[in-house]
Structure 1
Amino acid sequence: MLRIDTRQGTASHPDFSHGNTLPLTGVPWGMHYLTVQTNGDRGAWFFDPASRQFEGIRLTHQPSPWIGDFQHCLFRATTNKAAGTYQPDRATFSPAVIDIYDEPHQLRTQATATARGGALRYTSAAREFTFQIQAPDRWTIVHQDNRGVVLQLQNQTASADPDFSMYLAVSCDTPWHAEDTPLAYTISNSQPVVIHFTASFISAEYAQRALAELERQPFTKLVAANTAEWEKKMALFTVQDHHADRVQTFYTSWYRSLLFPMRFYEYDAAGGPVHYSTTERRALPGRLYTNTGFWDTYKTTFPLLALVQPTQYGYFLEGFLNSAKETGYLPKWLSPDERAMMPGTMADAVVADAVDKDIRPDLWPDLLTAMVHGAETPSDDPHYGRPNLKDYQTLGYVPADIPESVNQTLDYAYSDALIGVVATKLQRPDIAEDYAPRGQNYRHLFDPKFGLMHPKSRTGTFLNSFNPYTWGQGFTEGSAWQNSFAVYQDIPGLIDLAGGPQAFLHTLHTLANAAPRYNVGSYHGVIHEMAEMSAIDFGQIAISNQPSFHIPYLFALAGEPASTELLVKQLLLHAFNAGPAGFPGDEDNGSMSSWYIWSALGLYPLRPGFGDYVFGIPLFDEVTIQLPTGPLTLTTQRNQDYRLFVDARQRDDRAVTGPTITHRDLLATWQLTTTLGLLPKG
């Protein structure tokens, strides 16, 4: 397998993000991951790729430092009381295995993880060492003997169930002796020692049953199986290019696109999926997933998985539907349950994209019911459904006295249009005819004076104090420049409102050529997204955050594909790499990695739920994608960095015209050839 270094994007701190990622080892969409902890005192930023300190291997469920971890613990091995250190450039951080040599302790730590457990192998120069499990907050020993321990852990940043637990079962392949220090065990052995573990969110019995199966597997066999699983996923893309570093960035980004959402279900004794419901506080049948924020991931990650992993996408839909059945609403930000961190109900886009692409039709009726329920039913708990729904229903927009009013309005209008899409597919004209027009509610907030969205009062007047560079107030993590173009359901209508293609393009040119300046507005201080936009110095295109992801592709839809090609190629060449500073901002559960993958392929899913892709400019000489319908080969001719524009595009044996290709046409294509040129096509 191509060697992937999982430290991509980890050189981050609260004030500035190069990804805010963790170097996670496990299997795709695992229930648990392992990572290195260098300094637990840094809170959610407990890993620093430049640090030589080594505190141990952490069992983690952290999707983002802004969300925090839950049910985590630290596995630590020592031969004395000194702090551990290691040489980062000699360590292995890979999807399948972590390999660290702790110099003061003369102790080698290797770790791998399966979907619901894992193993650690310790090789010590001393004949005796101490293995310790460090667990914060509440923990209880359920069972302990001279070969293992079963723990009940209760730590989380937030959960609907204050007693939500994880049951950790640990066994050692050689006898150990419990020390006076809690959860510390002395191990005497001259050979490598292997410690297996499994963890369950349901019960100690579930964890112990899984451990009984896992501990029969040698460490090397577990690593080999893990490696094989990653190789199978990596083989979905075959990338050939004369720049090895860019190929590395592509595959490392693909690894990141496969981490979230995480499994939150197990198997009962009969082999059926079962999960713990934190809202009902009991085990229930069926799949469940967690650790994803749809506001981030619906734009790029889920469309990518819909293209190349539609079966897995169907399992995700099962899980999200189970969330809706248990809470009454489709999820918005799960970790482990609803956190409601961002505006909108963007799981609607994940559902509509599946419906448009014929994924899991057996689930569509129930999913449509859940979408409509969220659009019609206010929740007493602000975590669920659409906040400020009554205002939106009455006015057609969310008024300016409510924070993030513009973003809420645009997201709700998009979701309404998506309900229309799903209802049409299900031959429910009664629903479609009601919701499709609501997709036009974005028009209420468009201000032709600025060509941008503008917060509006309850009386229907635009706010007087409007500055397109001011962050917050009506906008989320940005200003009007970044957030005015989220009209995925009706870009032609947005262009018409602006006064036509030339006027719309003038606004986009102004946006791109503006200085990356900002007023802190209602944020009352500099937040990391502001600093990252300034650092990338790409005008007001804050590719460091999701609201700007589609902005470079709008030029093509307005009739100026050369600007899309120029902007996208510069971002691909200069804003991403495979190293610790590999991203221009928060990577966010695969969303930024997937943006890179789509853009490097020369395609972009600008409007999930509507079944097409905007053409950009491909980065690589050749890429073959293993689609469910057969291989698709993307070839780029005359592929040099100084060729910034597309001169011609051919699908199989015919020329391609127009800025988009449908999903169905892409699946039916075997060869897409792009020829680059020195100047825009005349």
Structure 2
Amino acid sequence: MLKKLTHLTIFLSAISAGLQAQPADKLTSFVNPFIGTGAVDASSLSGSNFPGATVPFGFVQLSPDTQDNPDNPASGYDHNDKTIVGFSHTHLSGTGVADLFDVLFMPATGEVKTVPGEADKPGSGYRSRFSHNEESARPGYYQVKLSDYNVNAELTATEHTGFHRYTFPAGAKSQVIIDMNHSLNKKRSYWSCRIIGAELRVIDNKTIEGYRILTGWAKMRKIYFRAEFSRPFSSHKMINGQRVYENEVFVNGTNIKSVLNFGENNKEPLLVKVGLSPVSLENAKMNMDQEISGWDFEKVVSEAENKWEQELEKIHIEGTKEQKQIFYTGLYHAFTQPNNMADVNGEYQASDFTIRKADDKKHYSTFSLWDTYRAAHPLYTLIQQERTADFINSMFRQYDTYGYLPIWQLWGDENYCMIGNHAIPVIVDAALKGLKGFDIGKAYEAVKGSSVRTHPGSPFDLWNKYHFMPENQQSQSVSITLEMAYDDWCVAQLAKKLNKTDDYTYFMARSMYYKNLYDSQTGFFRAKNDDGKWVSPFNPLQYGGNGGNPYTEGNAWQYFWYVPQDVKGLISLVGGDKAFITKLDQFFTLKDLPGEVNGNASGFIGQYAHGNEPSHHAAYLYNYAGQPWKTQAYVAQVLNELYNNSFSGYSGNEDCGQMSSWYIFSAMGFYPVNPANSIYAIGSPVLPKAVIHLPGKDFTVTTKNPSKKNLYIQSVKLNGKSYNKTYITHQDIVKGGTLEFTMGPQPNKKWGVSADARPLDSAFK
């Protein structure tokens, strides 16, 4: 796979056309929304990103679906597919699991069938073939030619409203299909997606509205919409399953659609505004009326692009065109979610399914925390400080209504996906860095409360009784033990800041429970049962998925390194620096794989799997044992070989900004190994210059002689003074200044090797 990604030569002419449509001096011109939309072949993973139109952190993501029942990739769009079934208004970006795909619209001509049809049988339904040569995208805009209908479809969006522009061929019978049955795959074995109820209602010959209630990954979702058209439809059909009703005013059921007929007068494009709300039809209309008052499609495109430009300007970089495209597309993906679920009046659906109101009109959801706490949220605390406070206040609302902080929250609903409770490091990180806009007392109440109340994935009765998770009582026991120990360390740090000495002592003791699963005979963290005996047989290469195995989406090799709160303790546990380095060397060179690996395993360098999160910090650990040049070598290899600017630009699922945030940090030269200790380990910068724009000041990183050959640090200066440490602190960055790297083709084994050059356990005393 590494070789395939390195030598990938497939570039999309349509993408290039879409990117070149913008002024070259705009940062949005470097965003390529097609990065991460497909895999090279069946042996690699798609990034699972969507190419459609959205605004930063917006509720609406209006994008094409190439599958009738989206499953894999979870975004609903696969670059390798040949047909489009329609344009739905909500999507997930980069996740490993599918959901949403609400309110699908599809323009068509002629006699249209009322079923989507089969992808490999053109004409079997209303789906259409398309070509990437007639497709383009840029921030806030998507376009495609639907070749079976000769219809040019263009999309843009505001925060709560999708805006369509359909150009039909002259003289053709023009129609729009609205499909309220379109959803994720309803036949998935590990949960049941179904439409509980839905309605479509014609208000007048330019307006239709409706809703649906369904269950899927998010257990109960309500989505309301109002659509207004720029010209009237002359007739319509309402469809319920196999029954077709001509010109009926409304239809309700669990499999409903509508076909609207706009006649043959196609001198002007048909415009469609679709306002969405998770609360009510009235709010859907309110959202649309406030955000798009007229019919100026180009104005909305321009406003969306300007919003993206403003966000991307938080960091300015110099580099090659490919580096800029990877970097700014990464920022684009990182700023696509979390999503503001509050309507323009502040109303939102809470995690207890009641309707509540946020006074600041901001309530965020889509928290893929097992992924994003590692690098995406530290990136937000650096360059999205105000939104970070909004994220945290949104998390507090789940704590108040549900009893504990989010684990994986979607549409305001806790779906219990993944393990640990990694809202804790997100909140603690922000609190320790002094971010404003949330109550630190409330923060401590929430992180402590979520660390003592048993909930799925965090059975604290077992934790307190055994001081580890017994595998015969809690599956994924090793991964949960390691991750909960880290979360406990985070709680302890906030307790220390607030002078809660007894709590600090208690949670610090729990943060060391990871040692109770270390087996000195095998040299790995292994599962025990409640009798204290090791679970056998043991194979450190054997992968686990999401249950039935001691490891979560990884194996014993990948989880061995997960002690970010106590790397010095881990080194001591192994037997010192030399033994630690030997094990790291083996980790990055051992290529043996079992016959079957978890579906998220990809992007391999030995046992290092960059395509999934447990490995993401591992390359930086050489800094902690006195051989930083090896960190530089492996970080450079990942940067140069496991990212590119094609549709297959990621080595695994992009995971709501985490894969991108790893690149953003690492390309600038540093990475948060422990996401909550305000320490960034130094790696191998690849950009000639990066300027992080902070409130009132800038932090600039310059790199002399960067290239794929010059991957080793020769020397470093911080604010003009020689700098020999293999880390910088968050405080170094936020007070402004300049970090200067000089690179070369051979390692400087004198730089960063002394004991006092190694990363600290914490920047806080």
Q: TM-score range by the shorter chain?
A: over 0.9
Deviations 1:328-375 (A, max 9, x none): 110001122111111101111101110111113642211211111121
Q: Per-residue CA shift, 1:510-565, capped at 9, x if unaligned? A: 11111141364xxxxx43234x2xxx441011111100000000011111100000
- Count of paired positions: 661
- CA gap 1:198/1:153 in 2 versus in 1, 3 angstroms: same
Report the Cα distance in structure 1 between the residues aligned to 2:295 and 2:72, rounded to whole angstroms: 32
In the TM superposition, what are the counterparts of 1:569-584 in structure 2 within 5 Å?
Answer: 569-584=636-651
SS in 1 for 2:639: helix
Q: Does 1:389 align with 2:389?
A: no
Q: Which amino acid aligns with 1:144?
A: I
1:55 to partner: Cα distance? 2.5
| Aligned counterparts, 1:492-503, within 5 A | 492-503=568-579
1:626 aligns with 2:671: no
Q: How does 1:262-661 map to 2 (within 5 A)?
A: 262-268=339-345, 273-285=346-358, 287-336=362-411, 337-360=413-436, 362-379=438-455, 382=456, 386-401=457-472, 402-472=474-544, 473-518=549-594, 520=596, 526-530=597-601, 532=602, 536-661=603-728
1:322 is paired with a residue whose SS is helix
TM alignment of 1:158-173, pairs within 5 A? 158-161=217-220, 164-173=221-230
3-state SS of 1:556 partner = helix
8 Å CA contact 2:30, 2:324 repeated in 1: no
Please identify, of 203-212 and 282-291, the stretch whose mean Cα deviation from structure 2 is larger.
282-291
Give the direction of change, closer, same or farther, for the CA distance of 1:89–1:3 in structure 2 (3 Å limit).
farther
Look up the match of 2:335.
258
In structure 2, the residue matched to 1:135 is: 180
Give the Cα–Cα distance (whole angstroms) in 1 for the partners of residues 644 and 206 of structure 2.
44
The reply on whether 1:144 has 2:203 as its aligned counterpart is: yes
Give the deviation of 1:217 after TM superposition. 5.0
2:301 pairs with one of 223, 229, 234: 223
Contact 2:315 2:691 in 1 (8 A): yes
Gaps in structure 2 of 5+ consecutive residues? 1-27, 113-122, 182-194, 240-257, 750-765
Residue 326 of structure 1: SS of its match in structure 2? helix
Q: Contact 1:99–1:109 at 8 Å: present in 2 too?
A: yes
In the alignment, structure 1 residue 9 sits paired with structure 2 residue 85: no
Q: Deviations over 1:363-398 (max 9, x none)?
A: 22112111111211224xx3xxx5332111111110
| Residue pair 2:57, 2:337 contacting (<8 A) in 1 also | yes
For residue 114 of structure 1, what is the amino acid of its counterpart? T
> Percent of counterpart pairs with the same letter?
25
CA contact under 8 A between 2:52 and 2:141: conserved in structure 1? no
Residue identity matched to 1:2: S
Please identify, of 59-68 and 315-324, the stretch whose mean Cα deviation from structure 2 is larger: 59-68
Structure 1 residue ranges without an equivalent (≥5): 521-525
Q: Does the 8 Å contact 1:645/1:676 carry over to 2? A: yes
- The answer to which of 627-636 and 283-292 deviates more is 283-292
Cα distance in 1 between the residues matched to 2:343 and 2:63:
22
Structure 2 residue identity aligned to 1:133: I
> C-alpha distance in 2, partners of 1:30/1:387?
31
Normalising by structure 2, report the TM-score: 0.83
Q: Note closer, same or farther for the CA distance 1:629–1:420 as it changes in structure 2 (3 Å cut).
A: farther
Give distance in 1, aligned partners of 2:432 and 2:680: 13
Alpha-carbon distance in 1 for matches of 2:295, 2:732:
45
Quick one: which of 74, 81, 89 aligns to 2:104? 74
Instruction: Tell me, in whole angstroms, the C-alpha distance in 2 between the residues paired with 1:14 and 1:355.
Output: 44
Residue by residue over 1:578-630, the C-alpha shift from the partner in whole angstroms, topping out at 9 and shown as x without a partner, is 21111111111111111111111110011121111000010111111212241
The alpha-carbon deviation at position 409 of structure 1 amounts to 0.7
SS at match of 1:634: strand
Give the conservation status (yes or no) of the 8 Å contact 1:651–1:669.
no
Is the Cα–Cα contact under 8 Å of residues 174 and 261 in structure 2 kept in the other structure? yes
Moved more, 10-19 or 253-262: 10-19
| Deviation of the 1:44 alpha carbon | 5.0
Q: Distance in 1 between matches of 2:724 and 2:641?
A: 29
Distance in 2 (alpha carbons) for counterparts of 1:264 and 1:512:
42
- Distance in 1 separating the partners of 2:380 and 2:95: 24
Paired residue for 1:33? 61
In structure 2, the partner of 1:523 is none
**Cα offset, 1:67, TM superposition:** 3.0
Contact 2:89 2:162 in 1 (8 A): no
- Spell out, residue by residue over 1:413-453, the C-alpha distance to the aligned partner (whole angstroms, 9 max, x if none): 11111111111222322322221222111111122233321
Compared with structure 1, are the counterparts of its residues 628 and 377 closer, same or farther at alpha carbon in structure 2 (3 Å cutoff)?
same
Cα pair 1:651 1:671 within 8 Å, conserved: yes
Answer whether contact 1:14 1:528 (CA < 8 A) is retained: no
Distance 1:15 1:157, change over 3 A: farther
| 2:280 matched residue in structure 1 | 203
Structure 1 counterpart of 2:87:
57
Of the structure 1 ranges 49-58 and 583-592, higher mean CA displacement relative to structure 2 is found in 49-58
CA distance in 2, matches of 1:362, 1:293: 21
Once residues 606 and 319 of structure 1 are traced to their aligned partners in structure 2, the CA distance between those partners, rounded to angstroms, is: 26
Between the aligned partners of 1:280 and 1:57, the Cα distance in structure 2 is 27
Give the Cα–Cα distance (whole angstroms) in 1 for the partners of residues 288 and 725 of structure 2.
56
The secondary structure found in structure 2 opposite 1:572 is helix
Cα pair distance change 1:442/1:519, threshold 3 Å: farther
SS at the partner of 1:342? coil
Looking at structure 2, the residues matched to 180 and 677 of structure 1 have their Cα atoms a distance apart, in angstroms, of 69
- Displacement after TM superposition at 1:465 (Å): 2.1
Quote how far apart the aligned CAs of 1:142 are.
4.6
Give the match for residue 141 of structure 2. Answer: 97
Kept in 2, the 8 Å contact 1:355–1:361? The answer is no
Tell me by how many angstroms 1:674 deviates.
0.3
Shift in alpha-carbon separation, 1:220–1:42, aligned structure 2, 3 A: same
Q: Deviations over 1:122-179 (max 9, x none)?
A: 1222244101211113321355211111111223414454xx4211010012111332
Deviations for 1:50-92, whole angstroms, at most 9, x for unmatched residues? 3332332221233556432236121111112354222212311
Q: CA, structure 1 residues 24+483, in 2 after alignment: closer, same or farther (shift >3 Å)?
A: farther
What SS class does the counterpart of residue 451 from structure 2 fall into?
A: helix
In 2, are the aligned partners of 1:288 and 1:323 still within 8 Å (CA)?
no
More deviation, 342-351/95-104? 95-104
Question: Deviation string for 1:166-218 (max 9, x for gaps)?
Answer: 11010012111332244221224411221111111111111112222324251
Post-superposition shift, 1:47?
A: 1.8
